[in-house]
Structure 1
Amino acid sequence: MSTGGESEGPVRGERRWPSVAAVVVAMALTLLRPKELRIAPVWVLPAVEIVLLAVLMVRDPGRIDKRSSFLRGVSIAIVALLVLDALVATVRLIAALIEGGAMTNSPEILLAAGGVVWLSNLISFALLYWELDAGGAANRAHRMPRYLDLAFVQQISPEVAPPHWRPGFGDYLYLALTTSTAFSPTDVMPLAFWAKLAMGLQSLISLAVVGLVVARAVNVFS
């Protein structure tokens, strides 16, 4: 098993565009939610996120390889806002399913709202894993810690991966997808407490959203 440590050879950070694209998609999903699932006017979150993204891209354009407490704080703020927004939307959706209302009386609207909330959580948790694992993308580009937060197959069995392999955003997106669909770890093992907590919470959210939305939609159809 790889124990991390200083990387050999030149530092080459991952490209920024996959994570930026994920943030943009998450912002777009907020525009598709029914008003009952929002806590602020529809333009507020996208406006704040665009400003924060602009700061990141101006201060560290291209690949993510600049270690800075300021930039990391901005990046964490972007992810935290998306996670909080997704969690609030989930709570409001579950409350609406329990209490009933105009949104839950239409199976088409209900399924669409449930799908949007489910995707919002998936993307938000992918960004959360990407941002917190091993100190973030910039830190991973320079070094991996001796003790891993999330253990990927390529780290447990380095012989199956290229030299100096590092997880990229796509790997964390796949982690979030499998956690939301399998409701448990698959090929990535959470070792740190925060990772176990996050994956457990994501599994519970996905199970609740899928189970309640489908059950309610079937009830309305029948």
Structure 2
Amino acid sequence: MKMMLTPLTARNGQKNQKSLLVFAIGSVLASAATPVLSMTFTEALTGGKVSLDVRYRYEFVDQDNPLDQAHASTVRTRLGYRTGDFKGFEVFAEAEDVSAVGNENYNSTINGITDHSVVADPTETEVNQIYVRYKGFSDTSLTYGRQRFALDNHRFIGTVGWRQNEQTFDAFVGTNESLPDTKITAGYLYNANRVFSDASPNGNFPMQSPIFNAQYHGLAAGTLTTYGYLFDFTN
């Protein structure tokens, strides 16, 4: 928004200087209030952000059984890309690779080394997350696809984050925080991508599970939570 200012004569003295200042401030405020145009589709695709996460992990297992000790030395690398905003939509994709440092002296459950104890960190490369998210509504986000998802203390729904290949979910999830000190989460989970990787017959866990979780953070003593997780699966 532009505002034209006409020259002020010196005859009005201090009054003219004050008027000029008022007009200048008004012009700045009007410009700040003008909404920024949304990115084009091409700008959203090319103007996103890259993420990189690398984690080394070592686990030693010595069990009182005939199995050999397990020495699992692994590195997990995650590479992701989040697009810019396009009319409230964004897309995120993340690849994950787990590689052994040295020999695989452990049973990853899929490497065939069954004479060692189990450390469920299989060395595989796969898609960890890929989803589309819509944030065009006030205080609300809607996410569809493979996603990192956890509620409360991870007791029923979590990522099993101490393993290198974390658990993710294929799901549709919505969150809303329009009420004071309140977050409401609702969704539908239709598959769990487990820590054993997609290469394992135990890697995918189909389900049909509506979920609901409401948290209130306005209490000094802690958080009040009500939830219902209607897990439905055959296993």
TM over 0.5: no
Structure whose alpha-carbon radius of gyration is higher? 2
Shorter-chain TM-score range: under 0.3
Which protein has the bigger strand share?
Answer: 2
Which protein has the bigger helix share?
Answer: 1
